[in-house]
Amino acid sequence: MAYTADKPVLAESSDQLRARIPGWGVDLDPKDRPSVPRERFDPNLSGAHWDFPERQPEKRPRERSIEHEFLTPVFGTSCPPKGVSGMMRKHAYTLSEGRAAHWLILVAADRVDALGSHLRSFLTLHPDDPITESGVLSEISHHGMASRVGKKRADLAHQPLDPIIAVGPWVVAGGVVYVGLKGLLRAVTRAGRD
């Protein structure tokens, strides 16, 4: 088609589409849609019966973005910061959300948290188990091969990397434990000789 002012003709008319597709055009008027206009001022719509919410008790110091004037009146209480990762997180919250370092430190803290938690789990009666926690046995029970072989899937190019990322912390943890035990054994042997 030459580049003219005309809009390309559609294969089906509106009447044909209305007949073929249930509900076609029931929201045809762009002004009569739930999120139009984007901002619709109506402070009574939500059901809130307060101008500003009562404050949730702050039972421990709660980290917050320095872009907030104060701690928000309601907040989540899951997983308070702890250990080295907690120190990293607290430092990240001294930087604004506009700084890349804020997010990169949080991501690094997540990795430290995961590694530390794996190591600590080996000192408990419920150690991490890479088989059950990764769900990898689904490869057998839910047609891992059939889901991939002969399929034009773009994700097959990078899926082999997933086990490395999933198992990597266990390899690192195993290495740390091995080196630690080896050092301990050497120290005990040396002490025995002395």
Partner 1 sequence: MRAMVYRGPWKIRVEEKDVPPIEHPNDAIVRVTLAAICGSDLHLYHGMMPDTRVGMTFGHEFIGVVEEVGPSVQNLKRGDRVMVPFNVFCGSCFFCARGLYSNCHNVNPNATAVGGIYGYSHTCGGYDGGQAEFVRVPFADVGPSLIPEWMDDEDAVLLTDALATGYFGAQLGDIIEGDVVVVFGAGPVGLFAAKSAWLMGAGRVIVIDHLEYRLEKARTFAHAETYNFTEHDDVVVHMKKITEHLGADVAIDAVGAEADGNFVQHLTSVKLKLQGGSPVALNWAIDSVRKGGTVSVMGAYGPMFSAVKFGDAFNKGLTLRMNQCPVKRQWPRLFEHVRNGYLKPSDIVTHRIPLEHIAEGYYIFSAKLDDCIKPLIVPNAG
Q: For partner 1, which is the closer residue by CB, 12 or 183? A: 12
Which residue, among 173, 190, 62, has the nearest Cα to 111 in the 3D structure?
173
Q: What is the Cα–Cα distance from 64 to 110, expressed in whole angstroms?
A: 17
Amino acid sitting at position 77: T
15 is an interface residue for partner 1 by CB under 8 A: no
5 is an interface residue for partner 1 by CB under 8 A: no
Pull the structure tokens for residue 160.
């082999």
Contact 88, 108 (CB under 8 A): yes
Contact 159, 107 (CB under 8 A): no
* Minimal distance, residue 167 CB to partner 1, in Å: 9
Q: For partner 1, which is the closer residue by CB, 29 or 194? A: 29
Instruction: Kindly state the DSSP code that residue 90 receives in the 8-state scheme.
Output: H
* Minimal distance, residue 191 CB to partner 1, in Å: 37
27 is an interface residue for partner 1 by CB under 8 A: yes
160 is an interface residue for partner 1 by CB under 8 A: no
154 is an interface residue for partner 1 by CB under 8 A: yes
71 is an interface residue for partner 1 by CB under 8 A: yes
Peptide bond into 37 cis (omega under 30): yes
Q: For partner 1, which is the closer residue by CB, 161 or 191? A: 161
Which residue, among 173, 179, 38, 47, has the nearest Cα to 115 in the 3D structure?
173
* Minimal distance, residue 65 CB to partner 1, in Å: 5
Contact 102, 96 (CB under 8 A): yes
* Minimal distance, residue 94 CB to partner 1, in Å: 13
- Looking only at residues 73 through 132 of this chain, which bind partner 1 when binding is defined by CB under 8 A? 73-79, 81, 85, 89, 92-93, 97, 100, 103-104, 106-107, 109-111, 113-115, 117-118, 121, 126, 128-130, 132
